[in-house]
């Protein structure tokens, strides 16, 4: 990670817009998540993040790992049985797997 990236991450942490949520098992690096405050601190980054999240949800829905109720104003996302079948989960790309695991983590809380 470059120094400018580290500076941005440190600033976001100090502004309570970013938090450490774990450690990547594959490389030992910290995993971060935005807090609701990111919307106020860096609105453009928040908008980009939402677009990425929505895209990942659509991919996982199309592959059968998620149910999404598109008819609600604030769509509800739930896991399908396929999201717990190891052989199926192992077919996902690294990014898709990370997204699915993050969705599982968030739905537990």
Dist. CA 97–CA 19, nearest whole Å: 21
User: Residue 10 in contact with residue 22, Cβ under 8 Å?
Assistant: no
pLDDT digits (tens, 9 = 90+) for 16-28: 999 998 888 888 9
For residue 81, the SS3 value is helix
pTM: predicted TM-score of the whole model, two decimal places: 0.75
pLDDT digits (tens, 9 = 90+) for 32-65: 889 999 999 999 999 999 999 999 999 999 999 9
């Amino acid at each position: 990670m470059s120094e400018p990236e580290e500076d941005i991450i440190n600033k976001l942490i100090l502004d309570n817009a970013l938090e450490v949520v774990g450690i990547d098992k594959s490389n030992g690096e910290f995993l971060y998540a935005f807090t609701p405050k990111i919307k106020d601190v860096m609105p453009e980054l928040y908008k980009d993040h939402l677009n990425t999240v929505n895209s990942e949800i659509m991919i996982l829905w199309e592959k059968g790992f998620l149910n999404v109720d598109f008819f609600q104003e604030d769509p509800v996302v739930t896991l399908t049985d396929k999201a717990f079948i190891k052989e199926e989960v192992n077919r996902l790309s690294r990014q898709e797997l990370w997204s699915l695991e993050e969705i599982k983590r968030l739905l537990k809380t």
